Amino acid sequence: MKLTQKTISIAIAMILASSAWSAPPVQGTQISEAEAATLSFMREEEKMARDVYITLYEVWQTQIFANISSAEQQHMDQVKSLLDRYNLPDPALEEVGNFTNSDIQSLYDSLVERGRTSQIEALYVGALIEEVDIDDLQNAIAETNNRALERMYTKLMNGSYNHLRAFVGQIEYLGYVYEAQYLDEVDDILNSGTMSRGIAIETANSQFVETNAQFKASIKTQTGLYSNGAIFSQSDEITITATFQPDSAHIGQNADLLTVAMFTPMGATQPLIFMRDETGGWQNWDGYFNTLTAVQVQQTLGNEQKLNVYQGTLPAGRYQISVGYRLQDGTIVFNEQAIDFYVE
C-alpha cells in the first residue's frame, strides 16, 4: 500500500511525523461555547506568533524567525482545520499585524516594539511568545475532553517546546544565560531534550491506533546538545541518535527498526524522501509500505531501544527525521514529533 493523502496525508505521516494532521471529530460531536472560544483564541494566538516572527525577520534578517514563522503558519492551519470541521468562523485577518482580538493586538504591538530594540531582545521576545503559548495550550488541554481538540493542542504544544528550545539555544549561543520569563517549568522543558510520544498505524488498513510508546532524540555537535529548530553550518559534524520506549504491549516482540528522512534542499520547495537500510546507507523511498527497508531486522524489543541515526556533515537544507519500529503484523510505531533541524 502507498501512503495516501486521505489518511492524514499519510505521505507525511510516516515521513514527517510532525505533520498537520489531527484526528477528525467523531460524527455528531459538538464542542461547547468555551471550547469554541478557546479554539478561536488559539487561531489568533498562533497568527500573532507568526506575524511577530515575520516582522522581526524583516528587521534583523535572523534566520530563526523565518524558520519558525513557517512552523507557526502550519500551526495556524491546524487550528483552522478544526474551526472548519465545527463550522466556526475564522477570526484571523489576512494582513500581517492586524487582529480581531484587541488583547492579542496589544500584545503584538508591544512585542514588536520590544523586538525592534536589539537582536537579543528580539530573541527574548520569541522565547516569551513560546512560554505564553505553552501555558495557554496546557490550559486548553486541561479544559477539554474532546479528543480532536486535545490531540491538536498537544501537537501545537510539542511544537512550542521545540521553538522555545531553539530560541533559548540562540540566546545562549550569544553568551547570555536564559531565565524563565513567564513559565515556572521552563528549565524542565529545556532539559527534556527532543521528546515525542509515539503514533501507530496499522498498515493493512491505514488506520491509526493508540500507543503509549515514547521517543527521545539527541542532536549533538562539537559545541554541545541541540533541540528541534536548531540551525547548523555545513562544516558542523552532527551526531543524531534516538532512544525510545516501545509500547508496553510490544515489549518482547520481534520488530524491524526504521529510519525515514525528508530533506528539502536550500531554496527548493519539494522535499526528497529517504529510508535507511541495514548497511547504514540512505536510499530513495517511494512512500510504499512494502518497499520500506529496515535499519535492523527482527530485533527483540526491550524496555528501551537505541538507534544511531547519522553522524557527519550535511548539505544545506531542512531535515525532518522519523524513527520507529514495525511489528510482524505490519503495525508501524514512530515518533509523532519528527527530529527537525536546518543546515545553512
> For 231-263, how does the pLDDT look when each residue is reduced to its tens digit (9 = 90+)?
788 999 999 999 999 999 999 999 999 999 999
Let me know whether 167 and 214 are in one domain: no
In the numeric block, which cell numbers belong to residue 14? 510516516
The verdict on residue 85 lying in a domain is yes
- Residue 248 has what pLDDT? 94
d(CA 109, CA 113): 6
Let me know whether 256 and 119 are in one domain: no
Q: Which of 190, 213, 241 is the last residue of a domain?
A: 190
Let me know whether 224 and 333 are in one domain: yes
Let me know whether 148 and 236 are in one domain: no
The verdict on residue 18 lying in a domain is no
The verdict on residue 77 lying in a domain is yes
Cβ distance 152 to 22 under 8 Å?
yes
First to last CA, the chain: 36
The verdict on residue 120 lying in a domain is yes
Let me know whether 329 and 312 are in one domain: yes
Let me know whether 77 and 216 are in one domain: no
Quote the number of domains for the chain. 2
Residue the block writes with cell 491538536: 152
With left for phi above 0 and alpha for psi between -120 and 50, is residue 267 left, alpha or beta? left
Neighbours of 267 (CB within 10 A): 7
The verdict on residue 14 lying in a domain is no
Let me know whether 170 and 223 are in one domain: no
Give me the CATH number covering residue 316. Answer: 2.60.40
d(CA 57, CA 64): 8
The verdict on residue 316 lying in a domain is yes
- Residue 194 has what pLDDT? 59
pLDDT digits (tens, 9 = 90+) for 134-163: 999 989 988 998 878 987 887 788 788 888
- Residue 193 has what pLDDT? 57
In the numeric block, which cell numbers belong to residue 37? 472560544
pLDDT digits (tens, 9 = 90+) for 166-207: 899 899 889 999 999 999 888 777 765 556 788 899 988 888
Q: Which residue has the higher pLDDT, 1 or 42?
A: 42
Which domain covers residue 122, as residue numbers?
Answer: 31-190
- Residue 192 has what pLDDT? 56
The verdict on residue 11 lying in a domain is no
Let me know whether 41 and 84 are in one domain: yes
Nearest Cα residue to 211 out of 334, 67, 117:
334
The verdict on residue 201 lying in a domain is yes
Q: Three-class SS of residue 326? A: strand
Let me know whether 203 and 148 are in one domain: no
Give me the CATH number covering residue 165. Answer: 1.20.1260.10
Let me know whether 201 and 328 are in one domain: yes
Let me know whether 149 and 169 are in one domain: yes
Let me know whether 244 and 130 are in one domain: no
Q: Which of 190, 224, 258 is the last residue of a domain?
A: 190
How long a stretch of residues is the chain?
344
CA angle 187/191/196 to nearest 5° reads: 120
Q: Which residue has the higher pLDDT, 100 or 142?
A: 100
Nearest Cα residue to 148 out of 90, 78, 202:
78
Q: Which of 141, 159, 190 is the last residue of a domain?
A: 190
In this prediction the pTM is 0.58
Neighbours of 11 (CB within 10 A): 16
Residue the block writes with cell 467523531: 26
